[in-house]
Structure formats: structure tokens, C-alpha cells
Amino acid sequence: MLPFSRLFKILRVVKKYRLDEFIEKNQGTLSIHLLLRSLWFIKRADEGKSQGTRLRTALEELGPIYIKFGQLLSTRKDFIPVDISKDLEKLQDSVPPFEEPEIGVAIEIALGKKPEEIFRSLDSKPFASASVAQVHKAILKNGDKVVVKVVRPGIEKIILQDIQLLKWLARLLQSRTSIGKRLRPVEIVNDYKSIILNELNLKSEAANTVQLGRNFSSSPQLYVPKVYWDFTSENVMTMEQIDGIPVNDIRQLKQNGIDLKKLAETGVDIFFTQVFEHNFFHADMHPGNIFVSKTTEFSPQFIAIDCAIVGTLTKDDQEYLARNLLAIFNRDYKKVADLHVECGWVPKQTNKQAFESTIRTVCEPIFEKPLGDISFGKLLVQLFQTAGRFNMEVQPSLVLLQKTLLNIEGLGRQLYPDLNLWKTALPYLENWNAKRLNPLKILEKFQENIPIWIEKLPEYPELFAESLNQNSLLKEQNALLLQSLASRDRDRKTKQTRRKIVGLISIFISVILILEPSLYQITNLSAGPLLFGSLGVYLLYFKR
């Protein structure tokens, strides 16, 4: 059932903070304006507040799903006005904290121990508060400095109501519009539901954190803090306290002598390493979750927290994505068209020549600009919009990756406006492709499978014997089937022969009766010739 109370609250917040000002009054949105105008009794917010402040406050009031949308917008100063993005940046770690229950009570409920049994000290006020949880500083009994993350009470109910609304809108969009069929919004909402509900389980986040740390354990580019499993549950996570600079604090980064160009390029390199080498990427890389180490100014090191949302790709999607990016970078539009058809992103009956021409029309004007001025995020949006008339579908498995790429590019542009994402990414992709096709790499994959084959080796004789038995059984069954078919064929031919004989006899009797009328007159069979003749013709020509 549609949660009308939640829908009414959303409309009330939109009206209260005058968010209808963001919607152009055209034919497609006229009904929205009329609906909001009917809510005349709702008091509007302070007229003196800016658009950005009103939007941020509205998103905070609506809850986690809307806050996350605002976090993504805050990193895209190339998409929205700078003053609005500045306000939205506060959504990254400055969301109003919850007041009930008290933090000590919440921890005791989650861990089954009083806080004083675990911590030497625990700050009652959070130092960071985000959409789903808030974080408190603490010191363990052994003296380790930690942070304690606590999920907001009652947040799951609000999220489920919003997901239900999104599903309703997605079904409406998908069933009533052509773009909806192409966007596949129902699948996207289902994927997002799984992601955000998983984010509420801090044990899952802790496991992701450990995995990400293990992946970069030998790399100086990214540090992931330690998790304290003894003090972690579904609603509380305890991990190492970090001492880093927020990645969007440009002034402090410069004061510490951090090379911003190198830092931005390192961020891009980390992204591609996660996607194409580890196939396990941090998918919520907004500035509130990324810090920079203070002690590595010449070779910048990122610090990543909040690993609740991670993404993986299938091997096919991973390979096709890399080959598509390489083809775009190299302006090989025929290859891009072929790959889209090959991997099923557009229908197989697509006119490849027309599709190739369309891609070229979109990309060539962009590539005439200096590479540093090209927004990869904008290019992807334009490509998708243009390919829409070829029935190109959104791949739900890539939506998370696309969102992460938008985050990374937005973050990189904040650090170093002249960031050349293409120049940074192209050598990496070329290297990845060369390694993929390297005979030694292929041999390495072959060698990786050898232990599996050896492990299965004792089973091979039994499998071989079973295969022979099955083959023998199959031959026997085939022979029996052939015999059965041959027997049926013989029976059918015998019956046909008998019918023909009876038919000939019937026709013969009919002829005799016609030639000797006295015979059927004596036997009182006046219709005899006709009956025997019809029977004979039927048996000879019609009965099979």
C-alpha cells in the first residue's frame, strides 16, 4: 500500500521550503505546481533564506535517501551553482544529530555492555553526523583512540516508506513512458533498496572496511582504519580514530604542502585500481568520507572511511566497460558501437553504422576542446541521452559505478580544477588491456586453475567411467528406440497392406454386383455396389 502520510510529508516539505522554485513551469510539471498551490495552509520557511539553505534544510528533514542525493549534488559544481553546492556540502558530515536515546543507552542496547565497561572515555556529543549514523570519539580501556559509529534509531522505517514511494513512481514511469522502459527504474530502485538497507548493518560495513584495507595493504596510496570487532554489532561499529585533513579543505591541504595535482591524479588512480584490479570499489566517495594523511605531502595518501556502500562488477561488465572506455578515449567509434551491441547494451538489430555516426556526432565536438576541459560525467550523460533513440538501456549493475565516477570527477575538480581525467585514466586502461592480453597473464590464469584441476584429478576416472556407462546406456536406448520405430513401421506397413487388399476386394465385389444385378436383387442389397465401391475407395486412398 502506498504510504500517503509520507507522500503528504514530502509535498509539505517541498511547499514549506519553496522547492517548486527549482521546477520550471512547463506543461509537464504544471500539475505539480497546481498540487502544491492547493496546500495553501502550509506555512512557508523564512523568506530571507537562500535557495541552497532551503534545499539543504528540506533534504535534512526528508531523511537519508534525500540527504545522499544532496551529497552527490554537492560534488558537482560543474552541474549546479557554486553557492548551492556550498550549502549542500554540509550534508556530508553536519546533519543534525539524534537526541534520543542517549548515546550510552544506544551502545549498551547494541553491545550488551555498559559504556564504562568498554571505554575509558566517550564523548556524548557527536563530532560528525550523517544521513544514516553519527560518530562519537572515545578511548578504549587499553588506551587506543577510536570512533564509535551508531545507526540513527527508527531510520529503517523511514527508508522503507521512501523506497515504497520510489517503487510506485518507478513503475509509473516504466509503464507510461518510453524513456522509463529504457531507464529500467524499477530495477534501479530495487538495487538501491538492497544497497541502502545493507548500509544500516554496520557489521557489513565493518567487513567491507577490512576487505578494502586488505586490498590496499601494500599500497601507499590509500589507508583504511582498523576495525575493532569485539565492539562492533549491527547498530554500532568501533574503529581506529584517524588524524587526517578533510579532502575538501583546500586551505589546510595547501598549508600542509600537499601537491593537489598529484593528489587528484592519485584519487583517479585509486578509483581505476579498485574497479579493474580488485573489482571491489568504495561507492560512496563524497568528501565527508575521504581524508588526506598529514604526513605524506610528497606522495599524497588518502584515508577512506564509511565503506557501507561498495560495488562489484561481473567479469563481462568489467571487460566491456574497460574496452568501451578505451575505444572512446581513442575515438574508435565503430568499436564503441560494436561493443554496445555485443554486450547487449543496445538491441542486436541496431543499425551499427547509424549508431556509430551518432556517437561520433556527440564525441567529436567535445574532443576539440583541451582534454582538461572535458567533463567525463557530462560526456556520459550526453552519450546516454543521444543513444536513447537506439533503445539503449540503463545497466543497473553499472549505475553504482557511474555514480562513483561522477563523485570522483567532482572531487578531483575541487582539488585541481585543471585535472585531466582522460590523461590520467588512458595509460591505466591501456596497461590493463595489455596485461589482459599478455600471454604470460593468460598462462598465469591457466596456472591458477591447475590446483583446481589437480584436486579434481582423483574424480576423473570415476567421471570417465560414468561417462562411458552413460554413453553405453545412451547407445542401448538409441538402439531400443530404433527397434521400436522399425517395429512400428512394419506394423504400419502390414496394416496398410491389409487395408489395400480389403479395399481391392470391396471394389471387386462392387464391380461383380454391377455386372450381375441378379445377385444383389436376390440378396435384397439394392445399394450393394455403392457401399462396396465406397468402402474400397476409402480404404485405398483415404485411410492411412
Please give the helix or strand (H or E) that residue 40 lies within, else none. Answer: none
C-alpha cell at 316: 563481462
Residue 98 backbone phi and psi in degrees, to 5: -85, 155
Q: Are residues 409 and 379 in contact, defined by beta-carbon separation less than 8 angstroms?
A: no
Q: Is 284 a catalytic residue?
A: yes
What SS3 string covers 213-248? HHHCCCCCCEECCCECHHHCCCCEEEEECCCEEECC
| Contacts of 301 by beta carbon, 8 Å cutoff, 6+ apart | 220, 221, 222, 223, 292, 293
C-alpha cell at 348: 542486436
Q: How far apart are alpha carbons 168 and 157 in whole angstroms?
A: 17
SS3 at position 121: strand
Q: How far apart are alpha carbons 154 and 317 in whole angstroms?
A: 37
| Contacts of 128 by beta carbon, 8 Å cutoff, 6+ apart | 93, 94, 134, 135, 288
Q: How far apart are alpha carbons 346 and 336 in whole angstroms?
A: 11
Which listed residue (78, 284, 373, 489) is catalytic? 284
DSSP per-residue letters across 282-343: ES---GGGEEEETT-SSS--EEE---SSEE---HHHHHHHHHHHHHHHTT-HHHHHHHHHHT
| Contacts of 390 by beta carbon, 8 Å cutoff, 6+ apart | 346, 347, 350, 354, 355, 358
C-alpha cell at 494: 502390414
Q: Are residues 70 and 59 in contact, defined by beta-carbon separation less than 8 angstroms?
A: yes
Q: How far apart are alpha carbons 171 and 176 in whole angstroms?
A: 8
SS3 at position 172: helix
Return contacts of 249-256, CB within 8 angstroms, 24+ apart: 250/414, 250/415, 253/292, 253/415, 256/294, 256/297
Q: Which residues of 108-137 are buried (b: 16+ CB within 10 A; e: fewer)?
A: bebbeeebeebbeebeeebebbbbbbbbbb
Helix intervals (H) in 135-259: 155-176, 178-183, 185-199, 202-215, 250-255
Please give the helix or strand (H or E) that residue 460 lies within, else none. Answer: helix 459-515
Q: Which of 472, 482, 540, 480 is nearest to 506 (CA)?
A: 540
What SS3 string covers 353-383? HHHHHHHHHHHHHHHCCCHHHCCHHHHHHHH
Give the residue numbers marked as catalytic.
284
